[in-house]
């Protein structure tokens, strides 16, 4: 029975560890997504500044095409920003979920520890009570042994006296 309980405990710990590693892997993947999007945004932002500096028109002026290209890059940046916000929300929601799970686990562990302490105190009190009862039974057994010894000695003494009285009457 103890081996079965130990095996179940080890299995539970293994599953919890696996779940935690899976959770942290998902968190890491989400962080990589956000970092990739931020990297793309940075590249697009640099492209936007380069497009602002492009002047392909007559006398070094910007053309409508240059302005459209800058606007398209700017729209790409906005779309990337929206994607970053969406992924950050997922990441923050995930982090909040993980924090609440950790909080729940800590409360569960605290409750379990409190229960264990209560059980230990209860068992300690029962042990002390049983030890006191065992001492009392031991004292009673010692008293009974003494009483039996005295009774046996009295019986032997009475037997000896009876035999002596009978032998003195015969003479």
Q: Give, for all 171 residues of the chain, the pLDDT tens digit.
A: 445 454 444 444 554 444 455 567 888 888 898 899 889 888 988 888 888 777 776 766 777 888 888 889 889 989 989 988 998 898 888 888 888 989 999 999 999 999 999 999 999 999 999 999 999 999 999 999 999 999 999 999 999 999 999 888 876
pLDDT of residue 123: 95
- In a domain? residue 162: yes
pLDDT of residue 11: 46
- What is the Cα–Cα distance from 96 to 90, expressed in whole angstroms? 10
- In a domain? residue 12: no
- In a domain? residue 8: no
Query: Considering the entire predicted model, what is its pTM?
Result: 0.49
- In a domain? residue 18: no
CB atoms within 10 A of CB 29: 9
pLDDT of residue 140: 95
- What is the Cα–Cα distance from 53 to 62, expressed in whole angstroms? 9
pLDDT of residue 12: 47
Give which of 146, 35, 157, 142 is closest to 88, Cα–Cα.
35
- What is the Cα–Cα distance from 68 to 29, expressed in whole angstroms? 35
45 Cβ contact list (under 8 Å, min separation 6): 77
C-beta separation of 91 from 34 below 8 A: yes
What total number of domains does the chain contain?
A: 1
Of how many residues is the chain composed?
171
Q: Which range of residues forms the domain containing residue 166? A: 30-170
- In a domain? residue 62: yes
Q: Cα 164 to the chain's mean position, in Å?
A: 83
């Amino acid at each position: 029975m103890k081996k079965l309980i130990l095996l179940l405990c080890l299995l539970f710990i293994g599953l919890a560890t696996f779940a935690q590693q899976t959770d942290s892997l998902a968190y890491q993947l989400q962080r990589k997504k956000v970092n990739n999007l931020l990297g793309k945004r940075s590249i697009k932002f640099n492209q936007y500044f380069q497009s602002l500096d492009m002047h392909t028109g007559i006398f070094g002026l910007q053309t409508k095409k240059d302005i459209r290209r800058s606007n398209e890059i700017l729209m790409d940046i906005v779309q990337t920003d929206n994607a970053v916000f969406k992924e950050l929300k997922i990441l923050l929601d995930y982090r909040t979920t993980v924090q609440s799970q950790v909080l729940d686990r800590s409360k569960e562990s605290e409750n379990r520890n409190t229960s264990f302490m209560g059980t230990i105190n209860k068992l300690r009190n029962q042990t002390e009570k049983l030890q006191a009862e065992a001492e009392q039974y031991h004292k009673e057994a010692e008293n009974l042994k003494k009483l039996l010894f005295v009774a046996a000695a009295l019986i032997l003494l009475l037997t000896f006296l009876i035999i002596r009285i009978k032998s003195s009457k015969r003479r």
